[in-house]
Amino acid sequence: MNKLGRGHRDKVHQFMTITGTGEKLALSTLKASDWHLDGAFDIFYRQSHSKSFIDVRHLEELYNKYKDPYADMIMADGISNLCNDLQNFILILVLFLPGGSSRYCYGMSRLGLHILLMLLLQLVVSWHMKAAIMCEFSKQEFVGGLQSLGIDSLEKFRERIPSMRSDLKDDQKFKEIYNFAFGWAKEKGQKSLALDTAIGMWQLLFEVNQWPLVEHWCQFLQARHNKAISRDTWSQLLEFARSVDPTLSNYDADGAWPYLIDEFVEYLTENGII
């Protein structure tokens, strides 16, 4: 390892620290991923999952530990307890926020940061479990989801957290998580997503997959729209954020964007933002 450059040595040490593996496995996995840490974590946990034995009895014990005392499902309190049991504050901070997002350390209270990180963790876990509703896990969702992830203990759950960063960094998986978030966050029986909830989710998701115009978008909605958000607007905004340059240099006024996005472009121009 002495022959490696400093950057590669740092990645080896980081990989060993997070996964608990030895130097030889760390080196081989990082080389297989062309020295991309995200890819190395993905390879490591995919291989670990394929070799792991899942004890269904342990899954039952986990479910019963967090199950609501008055309903046959895990509710908000149980999910909060689960997240607290999983919590490794510094590790989650480094893994989920871009580059460690040091600005959060100074710009947000510890409580606010804790809530942000826990909500993001809940979202990714819920996506893996195919949970239909925010802050609710049926027994089938919880047990089936953990089984598919190769998890039957809190220790294995903690070990999986690094690979969830890979999910958020992967364009296709992020798109799936983003679209999943609409149905997950909306209230039962509603077709649209409440504006305040939509704004909160956008701020959360676009912190991970950064879009420079997200705050202007949220301000525009509060000033000009002030209504619930449709699924079409939700899904089209991600396409807009990905395909249109933040300077709007390649924006096509005749494109098939929802009217709300066209109004947003007008808002940016009228206010001299672009």
**DSSP calls for 115-159:** HHHHHHHHHHHHHHHT-SSTT-EEHHHHHHHHHHHT--SHHHHHH
Question: What tokens appear for 58 in the block?
Answer: 């342990």
Q: Give 221-256 pLDDT, tens digit per residue.
A: 999 998 999 999 999 999 999 999 999 999 988 888
Residue 180, pLDDT score: 96
Average pLDDT of 86-96? 54
Tokens 């040091």 locate to 102
Which residues, 6 or more positions from 191, have their beta carbon under 8 angstroms from its beta carbon? 230, 231
Task: Please check the confidence at residue 116 and state whether its pLDDT lies above 70.
Answer: no
Residues 6+ apart with CB under 8 A from 14: 37
Highest mean pLDDT among 16-25, 144-153, 229-238 belongs to: 229-238
pLDDT of residue 164: 77
> How many angstroms separate the CA atoms of 253 and 245, rounded?
14
Q: What is the pLDDT of residues 32-42, one digit of tens each?
A: 788 888 778 77
CB 126 within 8 A of CB 58: no
How much helix, strand and coil, in percent to the nearest 5, is found in the chain? 70, 0, 30
Say yes or no to pLDDT of 100 above 50.
Answer: no
For 172, half-sphere exposure in the C-beta direction (CA atoms, 13 angstrom radius) is 0
Q: H or E segment at 176?
A: helix 171-185
In whole angstroms, give the CA distance from residue 197 to residue 128.
21
